[in-house]
Each structure stands twice: as structure tokens, then as C-alpha cells.
């Protein structure tokens, strides 16, 4: 039996890849589970530049620590964190988006780099 959290994560990662690949300038793919060599969840190429995406779909997240850990894992400043915040709704057994459906977080340095392109 598949772990519910892993299935949820895989679904969210696949959704990110599918949305990114709708843009002709982007090429993205999910990483296989890498264990100690894990670079992140999604690899993205834009104009021959590689980016790493860590995807989180959960109710609570310390975004500062999670982004720091994602950058440490990938070993690259070209790392972003996607967070889909979920909240349990009254009368609904499933969690759904809370507020903005998804946010993307990055370091200040990456933000400035992207603005200067």
C-alpha cells in the first residue's frame, strides 16, 4: 500500500511538471527519490540554465527553514520552494487550498538574478 503523504507529494510534483512543460521554453521532470543524493523534487531547464524545485503540499510549513534545506540539498542557488497550503474545511473530510492556492519562494539573490535577465 502506498503511503498517503508520498502519493500526495507525487501528485503535486507531477502537477508542477505538467504546468511548467506547457511553456515551450521550459523542460522539467520529476527527480527519482534520491535518498542521500536527493537534489529536490523537480528539475527545470530554462535557456540552458538548471533550476531545482522542492514541492510541499501541507497545512503548516516553516518556509525559511524549508527553503534553506532545499538550497542545501540541491547545492544550488537556483532553487525555489513551491508550497500548496492545505486546510481542513468544516464538513469536508479532504483538505483543500487555504487562501492563495500556491506560493513560490526563493532567495533574495535568485530574485535579483531573475530580474536582471
pLDDT (tens digit per residue) in 22-59: 999 999 999 987 666 789 999 999 999 999 999 999 88
pLDDT of residue 34: 65
Q: Give the residue from 38, 35, 65 showing the smallest Cα distance to 53.
A: 38
Listed by start position, the domains of the chain span 4-115
| φ, ψ at 14 (rounded to 5°) | -65, -40
Class of domain 4-115: alpha beta
Q: What's the rounded mean pLDDT across residues 79-106?
A: 78
Mean model confidence pLDDT for the chain: 89
pLDDT tier, 70 (very low <50, low <70, confident <90, very high otherwise): very high
Amino acid at each position: 500500500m502506498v503511503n498517503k503523504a508520498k502519493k500526495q507529494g507525487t501528485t503535486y510534483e507531477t502537477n508542477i511538471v505538467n504546468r511548467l512543460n506547457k511553456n515551450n521554453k521550459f523542460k522539467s521532470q520529476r527527480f527519482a527519490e534520491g535518498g542521500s543524493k536527493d537534489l529536490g523534487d523537480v528539475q527545470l531547464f530554462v535557456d540552458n540554465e538548471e533550476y531545482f524545485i522542492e514541492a510541499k503540499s501541507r497545512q503548516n510549513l516553516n518556509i525559511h527553514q524549508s527553503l534553506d534545506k532545499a538550497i542545501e540539498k540541491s547545492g544550488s542557488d537556483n532553487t525555489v520552494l513551491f508550497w500548496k497550503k492545505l486546510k481542513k474545511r468544516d464538513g469536508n473530510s479532504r483538505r483543500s487550498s487555504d487562501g492563495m492556492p500556491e506560493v513560490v519562494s526563493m532567495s533574495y539573490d535568485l530574485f535579483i538574478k531573475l530580474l536582471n535577465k
